[in-house]
Structure 1
Amino acid sequence: MGEFQLGLLVGLLIGEGHFGGDGRQAQVTLRMHTRHQPLFDWLKGLHPESKLYGPYSHGGRSYYQWMVRGEPLRKWLIPLLDSVPLAELDPYAHERYRRMKERYGL
Protein backbone atom coordinates (compact mmCIF):
# COMPACT_ATOMS: atom_id res chain seq x y z
CA MET A 1 0.00 0.00 0.00
CA GLY A 2 1.36 3.40 -0.95
CA GLU A 3 1.62 6.41 1.33
CA PHE A 4 -1.38 8.12 -0.26
CA GLN A 5 -3.60 5.05 0.14
CA LEU A 6 -2.48 4.57 3.75
CA GLY A 7 -3.09 8.23 4.53
CA LEU A 8 -6.55 8.18 2.96
CA LEU A 9 -7.50 5.01 4.85
CA VAL A 10 -6.25 6.36 8.18
CA GLY A 11 -7.99 9.70 7.60
CA LEU A 12 -11.28 8.01 6.83
CA LEU A 13 -11.04 5.82 9.92
CA ILE A 14 -10.10 8.75 12.15
CA GLY A 15 -12.96 10.89 10.86
CA GLU A 16 -15.72 8.39 10.22
CA GLY A 17 -14.62 4.99 11.51
CA HIS A 18 -15.82 2.95 14.45
CA PHE A 19 -13.44 0.81 16.48
CA GLY A 20 -15.44 -1.76 18.41
CA GLY A 21 -16.89 -5.20 18.16
CA ASP A 22 -19.92 -7.36 18.56
CA GLY A 23 -19.02 -8.79 21.97
CA ARG A 24 -17.29 -11.81 20.45
CA GLN A 25 -14.83 -10.28 18.03
CA ALA A 26 -13.31 -6.92 17.25
CA GLN A 27 -14.26 -5.01 14.13
CA VAL A 28 -13.48 -1.76 12.42
CA THR A 29 -16.46 -0.28 10.61
CA LEU A 30 -16.88 2.66 8.26
CA ARG A 31 -20.41 3.81 7.44
CA MET A 32 -21.14 6.60 4.98
CA HIS A 33 -23.77 7.77 2.50
CA THR A 34 -24.32 5.81 -0.71
CA ARG A 35 -23.02 8.74 -2.75
CA HIS A 36 -19.55 7.55 -1.64
CA GLN A 37 -19.90 4.22 -3.47
CA PRO A 38 -16.69 4.65 -5.53
CA LEU A 39 -14.78 5.19 -2.29
CA PHE A 40 -16.32 2.05 -0.81
CA ASP A 41 -15.39 0.09 -3.93
CA TRP A 42 -11.80 1.30 -3.44
CA LEU A 43 -11.88 0.26 0.23
CA LYS A 44 -13.18 -3.19 -0.68
CA GLY A 45 -10.31 -3.49 -3.13
CA LEU A 46 -7.74 -2.84 -0.41
CA HIS A 47 -8.26 -6.29 1.08
CA PRO A 48 -10.31 -9.05 -0.54
CA GLU A 49 -11.60 -10.32 2.82
CA SER A 50 -12.99 -6.98 3.95
CA LYS A 51 -16.76 -6.81 3.66
CA LEU A 52 -19.01 -4.23 2.05
CA TYR A 53 -22.62 -4.25 3.16
CA GLY A 54 -25.52 -2.36 1.72
CA PRO A 55 -26.84 -0.20 0.42
CA TYR A 56 -29.12 0.22 3.39
CA SER A 57 -31.95 2.67 3.89
CA HIS A 58 -32.82 3.49 7.46
CA GLY A 59 -34.32 6.55 9.08
CA GLY A 60 -34.23 8.51 5.84
CA ARG A 61 -30.53 7.74 5.29
CA SER A 62 -28.99 5.61 2.55
CA TYR A 63 -25.58 4.20 3.39
CA TYR A 64 -22.96 1.51 2.87
CA GLN A 65 -20.97 -0.11 5.61
CA TRP A 66 -17.41 -1.42 5.15
CA MET A 67 -16.14 -3.79 7.81
CA VAL A 68 -12.90 -5.53 8.69
CA ARG A 69 -12.82 -8.23 11.36
CA GLY A 70 -11.25 -11.59 12.09
CA GLU A 71 -7.98 -12.52 10.42
CA PRO A 72 -7.94 -9.53 8.03
CA LEU A 73 -8.22 -7.24 11.04
CA ARG A 74 -5.47 -9.00 12.99
CA LYS A 75 -3.05 -9.60 10.14
CA TRP A 76 -3.67 -6.60 7.87
CA LEU A 77 -5.46 -3.60 9.37
CA ILE A 78 -4.03 -3.61 12.90
CA PRO A 79 -0.42 -3.74 11.66
CA LEU A 80 -1.21 -0.84 9.29
CA LEU A 81 -2.78 1.25 12.04
CA ASP A 82 0.03 0.39 14.45
CA SER A 83 2.52 1.68 11.87
CA VAL A 84 1.22 5.27 12.01
CA PRO A 85 1.44 7.75 14.91
CA LEU A 86 -2.29 7.55 15.60
CA ALA A 87 -1.92 8.75 19.21
CA GLU A 88 -0.22 11.93 17.98
CA LEU A 89 -2.57 12.48 15.04
CA ASP A 90 -5.82 12.01 16.92
CA PRO A 91 -5.73 11.05 20.61
CA TYR A 92 -9.50 10.46 20.69
CA ALA A 93 -9.45 7.99 17.77
CA HIS A 94 -6.36 6.35 19.22
CA GLU A 95 -8.11 5.82 22.55
CA ARG A 96 -11.09 4.17 20.85
CA TYR A 97 -8.67 1.97 18.87
CA ARG A 98 -6.66 1.12 22.01
CA ARG A 99 -9.83 0.16 23.93
CA MET A 100 -10.94 -2.12 21.09
CA LYS A 101 -7.57 -3.86 21.07
CA GLU A 102 -7.60 -4.21 24.86
CA ARG A 103 -11.16 -5.51 25.06
CA TYR A 104 -10.61 -8.13 22.39
CA GLY A 105 -7.03 -9.08 23.30
CA LEU A 106 -5.42 -7.82 20.11
Structure 2
Amino acid sequence: MATFEEGLLLGILIGEGHFGGDGKQPQITVRMHTKHERLFHTLLDLCPGSKLYGPYTHGGRSYYQWMARGEVLRQQLIPRLDALPLESVDTHVYERYTDMKQRYGL
Protein backbone atom coordinates (compact mmCIF):
# COMPACT_ATOMS: atom_id res chain seq x y z
CA MET A 1 0.00 0.00 0.00
CA ALA A 2 1.41 3.37 -0.99
CA THR A 3 1.77 6.25 1.44
CA PHE A 4 -1.29 8.05 0.06
CA GLU A 5 -3.49 4.96 0.44
CA GLU A 6 -2.25 4.39 4.00
CA GLY A 7 -3.07 8.01 4.85
CA LEU A 8 -6.48 7.75 3.23
CA LEU A 9 -7.29 4.55 5.12
CA LEU A 10 -6.07 5.98 8.43
CA GLY A 11 -8.06 9.19 7.91
CA ILE A 12 -11.27 7.33 7.11
CA LEU A 13 -10.87 5.04 10.12
CA ILE A 14 -10.08 7.93 12.46
CA GLY A 15 -13.04 9.97 11.27
CA GLU A 16 -15.66 7.32 10.61
CA GLY A 17 -14.44 3.96 11.89
CA HIS A 18 -16.03 1.83 14.57
CA PHE A 19 -13.81 -0.75 16.28
CA GLY A 20 -15.84 -3.50 17.87
CA GLY A 21 -17.31 -6.87 17.19
CA ASP A 22 -20.34 -9.07 17.48
CA GLY A 23 -19.24 -10.89 20.63
CA LYS A 24 -17.71 -13.73 18.60
CA GLN A 25 -15.38 -11.96 16.22
CA PRO A 26 -13.85 -8.49 15.93
CA GLN A 27 -14.73 -6.12 13.15
CA ILE A 28 -13.98 -2.65 11.90
CA THR A 29 -17.00 -0.88 10.42
CA VAL A 30 -17.42 2.33 8.46
CA ARG A 31 -20.93 3.65 7.84
CA MET A 32 -21.53 6.70 5.67
CA HIS A 33 -24.09 8.25 3.34
CA THR A 34 -24.62 6.68 -0.07
CA LYS A 35 -23.08 9.75 -1.70
CA HIS A 36 -19.71 8.26 -0.62
CA GLU A 37 -20.17 5.08 -2.66
CA ARG A 38 -16.99 5.61 -4.68
CA LEU A 39 -14.98 5.92 -1.47
CA PHE A 40 -16.42 2.63 -0.25
CA HIS A 41 -15.23 0.93 -3.43
CA THR A 42 -11.78 2.36 -2.74
CA LEU A 43 -11.90 0.72 0.71
CA LEU A 44 -12.79 -2.58 -0.96
CA ASP A 45 -9.76 -2.18 -3.25
CA LEU A 46 -7.47 -1.30 -0.34
CA CYS A 47 -8.67 -4.24 1.75
CA PRO A 48 -9.46 -7.20 -0.54
CA GLY A 49 -11.88 -9.52 1.20
CA SER A 50 -13.67 -6.76 3.09
CA LYS A 51 -17.40 -6.40 2.47
CA LEU A 52 -19.77 -3.61 1.49
CA TYR A 53 -23.39 -3.79 2.60
CA GLY A 54 -26.29 -1.68 1.47
CA PRO A 55 -27.48 0.69 0.43
CA TYR A 56 -29.76 0.87 3.40
CA THR A 57 -32.48 3.42 4.12
CA HIS A 58 -33.41 3.97 7.74
CA GLY A 59 -34.89 6.97 9.50
CA GLY A 60 -34.62 9.12 6.41
CA ARG A 61 -30.94 8.29 5.91
CA SER A 62 -29.43 6.34 3.04
CA TYR A 63 -26.09 4.72 3.81
CA TYR A 64 -23.60 1.97 3.07
CA GLN A 65 -21.73 -0.06 5.63
CA TRP A 66 -18.23 -1.40 5.01
CA MET A 67 -16.83 -4.17 7.22
CA ALA A 68 -13.51 -5.82 7.72
CA ARG A 69 -13.53 -8.95 9.87
CA GLY A 70 -12.13 -12.47 9.90
CA GLU A 71 -8.98 -13.11 7.89
CA VAL A 72 -9.01 -9.75 6.13
CA LEU A 73 -9.00 -8.02 9.51
CA ARG A 74 -6.40 -10.27 11.11
CA GLN A 75 -4.02 -10.72 8.18
CA GLN A 76 -4.33 -7.45 6.27
CA LEU A 77 -5.79 -4.61 8.29
CA ILE A 78 -4.40 -5.20 11.80
CA PRO A 79 -0.77 -5.41 10.59
CA ARG A 80 -1.26 -2.23 8.54
CA LEU A 81 -2.84 -0.35 11.42
CA ASP A 82 -0.21 -1.57 13.87
CA ALA A 83 2.50 -0.18 11.56
CA LEU A 84 0.91 3.28 11.51
CA PRO A 85 1.37 5.97 14.19
CA LEU A 86 -2.27 5.77 15.29
CA GLU A 87 -1.54 6.55 18.94
CA SER A 88 0.25 9.80 18.11
CA VAL A 89 -2.49 10.88 15.69
CA ASP A 90 -5.65 10.27 17.75
CA THR A 91 -5.55 8.89 21.29
CA HIS A 92 -9.29 8.21 21.44
CA VAL A 93 -9.29 6.14 18.26
CA TYR A 94 -6.12 4.35 19.38
CA GLU A 95 -7.80 3.40 22.67
CA ARG A 96 -10.89 2.06 20.86
CA TYR A 97 -8.65 0.09 18.50
CA THR A 98 -6.52 -1.41 21.28
CA ASP A 99 -9.66 -2.20 23.31
CA MET A 100 -11.04 -4.19 20.36
CA LYS A 101 -7.74 -6.02 20.02
CA GLN A 102 -7.68 -6.89 23.73
CA ARG A 103 -11.32 -8.03 23.87
CA TYR A 104 -10.81 -10.39 20.92
CA GLY A 105 -7.27 -11.54 21.63
CA LEU A 106 -5.65 -9.93 18.60
Aligned residue in 1 for 2:6? 6
Q: What is the alpha-carbon distance in structure 2 between the residues aligned to residue 11 and residue 61 of structure 1?
A: 23
Aligned residue in 2 for 1:71? 71
Q: Superposition RMSD on alpha carbons, in Å?
A: 0.6
One-letter amino acid of the structure 1 residue matched with residue 9 of structure 2: L
One-letter amino acid of the structure 1 residue matched with residue 102 of structure 2: E
Query: Any stretches of 5+ residues in structure 2 without a counterpart?
Result: none
- 4+ runs deviating over 6 angstroms: none
Residue 77 of structure 1, CA deviation: 0.2
Please give the TM-score of this superposition, normalised by the length of structure 1. Answer: 0.98
Aligned residue in 2 for 1:86? 86
Aligned residues: 106
Q: What is the alpha-carbon distance in structure 1 between the residues aligned to residue 3 and residue 84 of structure 2?
A: 11
SS at match of 1:54: strand
Residue 46 of structure 1, CA deviation: 1.6
Q: State the identity as a percent.
A: 65
Q: Deviations over 1:62-93 (max 9, x none)?
A: 00000000011000000000001111100000
Please give the residue correspondences for 1:41-80 in structure 2 after superposition, counting only pairs within 5 Å. Answer: 41-80=41-80
Please give the TM-score of this superposition, normalised by the length of structure 2. Answer: 0.98
Q: What is the alpha-carbon distance in structure 1 between the residues aligned to residue 52 and residue 13 of structure 2?
A: 15
